[in-house]
Amino acid sequence: MISLKPEVLFQIGPVPFTNTLLHILIVDVLILVGIYFLHKNLSKIPGLFQNMVEYVVDGFYGLTESISPTQVKAIFPFFIGFFVFIFITNITALFPGFGTIGIRKGEEFIPILRAANSDFNVTFALAIISAVATHILAVRAVGIKDYLLRYFSLNPIFLFVGLLELVSELTKIISLSFRLFGNILAGDAVLTTVSSMFAFFLPLPFMSLEIIVALVQALVFSILTMVFMSILTTPHHEPAEHSTKGGEIHE
């Protein structure tokens, strides 16, 4: 049975070293090796790896530019950063050994490696970073006054709308973190259950499904972040200027 909490492998002082932390470190190493390799071999005539990276970077940059042309330079690093990090974390969690190689302590089985995104700490951290970065970018893009006007107004109707907006900011964090956490944990649980029923061939369809989930969840998280950033970095009164007089009342 998969627990909600990650298993502690050992303690370093007060810090518990969990199996998800080990996975994150492996992912970090993979990303750093990738960055090093890319940075070292960067040339005007690209090789296979550089070509692939350029294709992804160019595609993501174009997508960001089409959604938020003015803030593309600020939003893009977060967009692709979340995607790369979550996708590599998800996809490496499907490698053999995850959840299967471990230590048995009496009745309890502790896997050495576990999908990092099935640890709420990871997804919550990512969601918090996404939210905080979104609000910092928003303040920088529209100014503190316009930023606060989104949530607080003297008009009671818009004050209520502002409060709803505040609640929605909280739900954004919850939805981002729990969506990723739930999907990966559920996938992990399905794979473990199916594998325990019959370890050969039977998990293959579920495995391919999980590969799709790995990609889709990474895309969902990063695209949502990008969209939230794009919405909040757009000046609040802008749509009202050419639609209704609502903006003027709101101001």
Partner 1 sequence: MDILNNFGFEPVLFAAQVVNFLVILFLLQKFALKPILKLLDDRKQTIAEGFKNAETAQKALTQAVEEEKKIIRSAQQTSEQLIDTAKKQAKEIVTLARQEAKEQVEEIIESARAEMAQEQKKLEKELAVSVARTAVNMVEKALVGLVDQKDQQKVVEKFTEKLKKQV
Among 129, 173, 189, 240, binds partner 1 (CB under 8 A): 129
- 123: alpha, beta or left, given left = phi > 0 and alpha = psi -120 to 50? alpha
Smallest distance from the beta carbon of 48 to partner 1, in angstroms?
A: 15
Q: Compare residues 77 and 143 and give the one whose CB is closer to partner 1.
A: 77
Closer by beta carbon to partner 1, 44 or else 242: 44
CA-nearest of 220, 221, 250 to 235 is 250
User: Pick from 33, 41, 47, 54: which binds partner 1 (CB under 8 A)?
Assistant: 54
Q: Of the two residues 88 and 149, which places its CB atom closer to partner 1 in the complex?
A: 88
Size of the site for partner 1 (CB under 8 A): 43
Residue where the block lists tokens 């518990």: 16
Enumerate residues 188-247 that contact partner 1 by CB under 8 A.
none
- Of 19, 71, 75, 78, the one binding partner 1 (CB under 8 A) is 78
- Chain center to CA of 16: 23
- Cβ 211 to partner 1 shortest distance, Å: 22
Note whether 122 binds partner 1 by CB under 8 A: yes
* Binding segment toward partner 1, per CB under 8 A, in 79-87, 163-171, 207-215, 227-235: 79-87
| Stretch of 46-54, 63-71, 148-156, 186-194 contacting partner 1, by CB under 8 A | 46-54
Cβ atoms of 210 and 191 within 8 Å: the answer is yes
Q: In the stretch 1-40, what mask flags binding to partner 1 with x, by CB under 8 A?
A: --xxxx-------xxx-x--x--x---x--xx-xxx-xx-
- Chain residues 147-186 in contact with partner 1, contact rule CB under 8 A: 181
Token pair belonging to 249: 């009342």
Query: Applying CB under 8 A, which residues contact partner 1?
Result: 3-6, 14-16, 18, 21, 24, 28, 31-32, 34-36, 38-39, 42, 44, 50, 53-54, 57-58, 61, 76-78, 80-81, 84-85, 119-122, 124-126, 128-129, 181
